[in-house]
């Protein structure tokens, strides 16, 4: 499942090739469950020129001269550039024909992704209750301290709550808590004030380190040209149940929290 570093990798790839391009044609194949309805018809992309590609948490925001395209990769969504004659991946739901004779294609076998077109400068409802992006200046140490203080959730689930901080998912919550030596099961409000700056720093460093490696590829995440991410080799605890903690050697354990696996070291995370 793409998290902030994977979506940021895709954003950079899209920004490098999409900004300044005009959409000359739109081929949209509506699919059940794909969250492509509710905004303007996606055919409205035709004739529009891309001015910027932004990101908030796990959402991509493609600014065009007269509209805003919101995209979420869900579990298996991919945005890939292709040449016109190239074979399509199965479950391709949208093809944008660009004015440099390339195509941008959105495929999503599991169809939990989102593609929505909004008027330019619209307030995007999907982001209305979102917290600050984990790498944005608005996500300050003070913001984190205040949000932690008001939360009785287990710390891991707090980090996954996009209303508190946007972009962190299962992999990076586990890794950041390991780096900060904090237990995922302790209540968020019990994090000592002195530890908050460490958690803040480790969270951001973990995300940045992963971006530097092009993200983490587990199932089938790839970037805009089909390359997998290479951060997987640097994971300390995630998906490493029974393997030694790289810091203390104790076996990494797996705990289920809200139906999702948390990987951590009971010996050095308190
Ligand atoms: Zn350990």
Considering 3, 103, 126, 175, which one is annotated as catalytic?
3
Q: Is the pLDDT of residue 37 over 60?
A: no
Span 43-99, pLDDT tens digits: 999 999 999 999 999 999 999 999 999 999 998 899 999 999 999 999 999 999 999
Sign of CA dihedral 47, 69, 109, 89: positive
Helices (H) and strands (E) in the chain, counts: 5, 10
Question: Ligand 1 center to residue 242 CA distance, Å?
Answer: 12
pLDDT of amino acid 227: 86
Span 170-182, pLDDT tens digits: 999 999 999 999 9
**3 noted as active-site residue:** yes
Alpha helices, DSSP H only, in the chain? 4-18, 141-149, 155-160, 170-179, 196-212
Rounded to the nearest 5°, which phi and psi values hold at 45? Answer: -70, -20
Q: Is the pLDDT of residue 35 over 70?
A: no
pLDDT of amino acid 50: 98
pLDDT of amino acid 72: 94
The Cα–Cα gap between 46 and 48 comes to: 6
pLDDT-derived band at 36, boundaries 50, 70, 90: low
Span 201-210, pLDDT tens digits: 999 999 999 9
The Cα–Cα gap between 170 and 262 comes to: 7
Burial of 239 (0-12, 13-18, 19+ CB in 10 A): middle
**243 noted as active-site residue:** no
pLDDT of amino acid 221: 77
pLDDT of amino acid 31: 73
**156 noted as active-site residue:** no
Question: Ligand 1 center to residue 2 CA distance, Å?
Answer: 26
Q: Is the pLDDT of residue 102 over 90?
A: yes
Tokens of 72: 């979420």
Mean predicted confidence (pLDDT) in 212-240: 87
Distances from the Cα of 74 to the Cα of 12, 33, 46, 168, 178, angstroms: 18, 11, 24, 14, 26
Among 81, 77, 82, 79, smallest CA distance to 108 is for 77
Q: Is the pLDDT of residue 219 over 70?
A: no
**58 noted as active-site residue:** yes
Picking from 27-31, 96-100, 105-109, which range would have the lowest pLDDT averaged per residue?
Answer: 27-31
% the chain with pLDDT above 90: 84
Distances from the Cα of 145 to the Cα of 162, 169, 193, 195, 223, angstroms: 16, 19, 7, 10, 34
Question: Ligand 1 center to residue 232 CA distance, Å?
Answer: 19
Supply the mean pLDDT for the chain. Answer: 94
């Amino acid at each position: 499942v793409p998290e902030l570093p994977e979506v940021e990798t895709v954003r950079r790839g899209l920004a490098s090739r999409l900004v300044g391009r005009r959409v000359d044609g739109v081929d949209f194949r509506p699919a059940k469950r794909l969250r492509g309805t509710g905004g303007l018809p996606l055919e409205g992309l035709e004739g529009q020129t891309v001015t910027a590609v932004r990101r908030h948490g796990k959402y991509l925001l493609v600014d065009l001269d007269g509209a805003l395209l919101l995209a979420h990769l869900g579990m298996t969504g991919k945005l890939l550039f292709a040449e016109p004659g190239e074979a399509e991946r199965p479950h391709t739901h949208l093809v944008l024909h660009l004015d440099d004779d390339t195509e941008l294609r959105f495929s999503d076998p599991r169809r939990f992704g989102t593609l929505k077109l909004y008027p330019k400068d619209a307030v995007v409802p999907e982001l209305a209750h979102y917290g600050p992006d984990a790498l944005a200046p608005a996500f300050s140490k003070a913001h984190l301290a205040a949000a932690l203080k008001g939360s009785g959730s287990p710390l891991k689930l707090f980090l996954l709550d996009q209303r508190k901080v946007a972009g962190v998912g299962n992999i990076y919550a586990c890794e950041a808590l390991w780096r900060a030596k904090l237990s995922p099961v302790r209540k968020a409000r019990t994090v000592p004030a002195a530890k908050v700056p460490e958690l803040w720093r480790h969270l951001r460093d973990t995300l940045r380190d992963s971006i530097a490696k092009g993200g983490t590829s587990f199932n089938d995440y790839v970037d805009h040209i089909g390359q997998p991410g290479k951060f997987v080799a640097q994971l300390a605890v995630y998906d490493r149940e029974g393997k030694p903690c790289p810091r203390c050697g104790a076996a990494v354990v797996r705990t289920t929290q809200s139906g999702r696996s948390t990987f951590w070291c009971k010996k050095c995370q308190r």
